[in-house]
Structure 1
């Protein structure tokens, strides 16, 4: 355990019900616990069971606290995470999440010692008043880049929800242009095919939970004591400057990227895992920097046609690939059954491609010397892991903030996007092959590979640099408490 702070804190952590949120909240919790602070990590039973194992040395300080998710008609049985549901059921999950409000309020009153801080997510817009009434300082933890949050605009300063970010954009087209409050040249905008579902949920056209996603963001940020970012000004200086302007006097604190080297994901406690041994054996046979690792996360879903074109594009690239392919939540078919006829047989017979339908140890795969590129959905967790190892990114955004991340990363020459066109986001298998080859092996992509290795890896993956961000963040929490 690292050196303890002079005055330890009790920090409550309360993430949204998605693995892409639960895991980085756990990473932050581990960083705090390793510095001698007590953590109460609150979520639902199935989500807590899904989390990576907490290192034994942290168990005395990092406590997992369970709250039963109330039942809501229309949600599948045992659904406690966004990975358990279809995208159309997302608002129902938020209804169930909002019903945790009285349960959490009661729990906060009973925790001992009294919490000093609660770190919360965008969905719990109702939490700041509870924390304020109980005298608990409250920090909004943004798992989104400063560019993404600035694109959404200034937050709400009250529960009235009157905010620029709520009221000025009501059509899909409004999200495909640079906002008026961005004073510099920017390509960080949505494409039309990316934003249609987002607008239906976030603008109020689909408000089954009674509160749109943009409203949740606005109030969660606006009523926080401080906003934390899993990013840093060294990576996106112009966007952090804009965030400070938009958030006015509200403190903005970077916690760094929380890469594998800082959060303990590099621990080799599962080297005996037969799955990893088998995967490693396959990777060991490949040339250095030749394999394309493909993973689109646990929630992003493609149609059968899109999946087929992506598969054929990988095959046409003639590069070896390892594809971690998950079954879509709404599908009755297994993922491999949605692939083109003969595809699996061809790539397997040539020992050139692997389609892996079980849980894949992503960090270990990305850290293997054979991997040269990462075809990713541009979720921020995956981006951080890929760049931590200096892997060039092949950008294939599917949902949520991923399109904005793709524009930001391509603009910084850390990846190359598979461009999708029109209102339906069409793309060809030939374009997939061309983009993959350019990013990973062609002379035209050499500058991308060099920058990913020489700039991306030191910034995103350096252990000491990222630890220094966490150290400054912890000092901020302690000093805030001491000021009363």
Structure 2
């Protein structure tokens, strides 16, 4: 990867080619969609400056050679924070209760970002939800900005409004977040469950050391010139329209940004493929919870026993904590399920697995990137949200019949192995699961249509070109 550690001065654009800087939050679930959009934009001849920390940039997927001169990786060292372990530069490097320290370190980027923007003078800056202090900097420099939200428009609307024309947000108690907000004028189930709110409440309210995530989101939305959303009008039209209303801003969907497959064939993939080839068509349960969501010991036990009780073949990507906090599978579990199951504790080529004919259902944490990948191949979902926006996603996917949310206790989030087994069997083989199987096939035509999704990027670039230098 081409990268720089100094502040490069980009050549000024005298034609319609843009220089766009991108500054995602330090989570791979954010950086990867930003990189996918960067690749699509660079593929049309525009220059990208992709800003992150050295270690994060070194861990990003390699660029296609033809884009290496168009995407420059700008490495800004993460300011030191005594509460962060050495080498921790992304949320995946930390337990969830330490991510607040990463946000504090991220807020120390003010000065280096200002210097970079001054020296490079991009035509546009695309930033994420976290740098609530950035709009004032760009306003002083005269650089137009797009808040590029990697969240569903439905989630963004739920978080709040910055328009004086919309009812103010008077949510003060956890229960207030378990119902649809009063600024949503149509029937909707998009809201948190009580156990989800309680898990996130410190991040919703903030504390003396850190502003809340909702405050960050609202201020970045308030200060931008346009809101770009990883979505498309065919999937959530009413929410995209409402997002523009609640913020009084233009909203431009950029498409679904399905991850580009890595075509490398290695020994890991061939051994996985060999096992998948031996399974019946549309029968395998694929289980993965992204790079950050880590189920607790109790949850791992119920998932494991539920997979066993389902009688279905399964491939489980099990990412767990290390050391004294490591979770364990039930005794004898892997031996009992040898042959009909694979438990993998390392990285796997998820797109290749989802594309395989043996796949029947994806047991997922409801992360938007994972759902986009599943629907690109027409795979139905069983949803087990764990953190962040995943609960809101799961409600919307349930409304759309994209996925079936695994039943659990509203108060504490507990679920049983029987619920796991029954949910998987229902979606894969029962009549009442037909609606999920058929909806996934229907949406494959939308999510897998790269030409149609590429048109959204064209329209976004048309907007950026038209409004270049308008601030």
Shorter chain as denominator, the TM-score bin is: over 0.9
Determine helix, strand or coil for the equivalent of 2:61: coil
1: CA distance, partners of 2:158 / 2:454: 28
Determine helix, strand or coil for the equivalent of 1:481: coil
Give how far 1:274 is off.
1.2
Q: Paired residue for 2:91?
A: 82
Q: Paired residue for 1:208?
A: 209
Q: How does 1:138-177 map to 2 (within 5 A)?
A: 138-155=145-162, 164-165=168-169, 168-177=170-179
Q: How does 1:28-47 map to 2 (within 5 A)?
A: 28-47=37-56
Runs (4 or more) in structure 1 with deviation over 6 Å come to: none
Distance 1:321 1:241, change over 3 A: same
Matched residues, number: 457
Q: Paired residue for 1:441?
A: 429
Q: Paired residue for 1:390?
A: 378
Give how far 1:482 is off.
6.4
Determine helix, strand or coil for the equivalent of 2:467: helix
Q: Is the 8 A contact 1:155 1:217 kept in 2?
A: no
Q: Deviations over 1:245-299 (max 9, x none)?
A: 2122x11001010113xxxx2352x12x111111111111111111111101121
2: CA distance, partners of 1:105 / 1:480: 22
Q: How does 1:42-441 map to 2 (within 5 A)?
A: 42-111=51-120, 114-155=121-162, 164-165=168-169, 168-204=170-206, 206-209=207-210, 211-248=211-248, 250-260=249-259, 265-268=260-263, 270-271=264-265, 273-328=266-321, 332=324, 334-335=326-327, 338-348=328-338, 351-441=339-429
Q: Is the 8 A contact 1:392 1:415 kept in 2?
A: yes
Q: Deviations over 1:351-389 (max 9, x none)?
A: 111110011111111111111111100011111111111
Give how far 1:22 is off.
0.6
TM-score norm. by structure 1 comes to 0.91
Determine helix, strand or coil for the equivalent of 2:280: coil
Of 41-50 and 124-133, more deviation after overlay is shown by: 124-133
Q: Paired residue for 2:3?
A: none
Q: Deviations over 1:376-408 (max 9, x none)?
A: 000111111111111001110000110111010
Determine helix, strand or coil for the equivalent of 1:394: strand
2: CA distance, partners of 1:99 / 1:387: 38
Q: Deviations over 1:57-94 (max 9, x none)?
A: 10010111100001112111111010111111111110
2: CA distance, partners of 1:328 / 1:11: 37
Of 147-156 and 133-142, more deviation after overlay is shown by: 147-156
Determine helix, strand or coil for the equivalent of 1:332: helix
Unaligned runs of 5+ in 1: none
1: CA distance, partners of 2:159 / 2:177: 9
2: CA distance, partners of 1:138 / 1:163: 26
Q: Deviations over 1:218-262 (max 9, x none)?
A: 0000100000000122111221222122122x11001010113xx
Q: Is the 8 A contact 1:75 1:93 kept in 2?
A: yes
Q: Paired residue for 2:7?
A: none
Q: Is the 8 A contact 1:226 1:252 kept in 2?
A: yes
1: CA distance, partners of 2:202 / 2:407: 23
Determine helix, strand or coil for the equivalent of 1:243: helix
Determine helix, strand or coil for the equivalent of 1:323: strand
2: CA distance, partners of 1:156 / 1:316: 51
2: CA distance, partners of 1:26 / 1:426: 36
Determine helix, strand or coil for the equivalent of 2:20: strand
Give how far 1:164 is off.
3.4
Q: Deviations over 1:153-182 (max 9, x none)?
A: 21378xxxx9934xx222211110111111
2: CA distance, partners of 1:15 / 1:183: 31
1: CA distance, partners of 2:321 / 2:171: 31
Q: Is the 8 A contact 1:255 1:470 kept in 2?
A: yes
Q: Deviations over 1:400-429 (max 9, x none)?
A: 110111010111111101011132111100
1: CA distance, partners of 2:385 / 2:203: 18
- Please give the root-mean-square deviation of Cα atoms over the aligned residues, in Å: 1.7
TM-score norm. by structure 2 comes to 0.94
Q: Is the 8 A contact 1:170 1:199 kept in 2?
A: no
2: CA distance, partners of 1:361 / 1:243: 34
2: CA distance, partners of 1:422 / 1:439: 22
Unaligned runs of 5+ in 2: 1-13
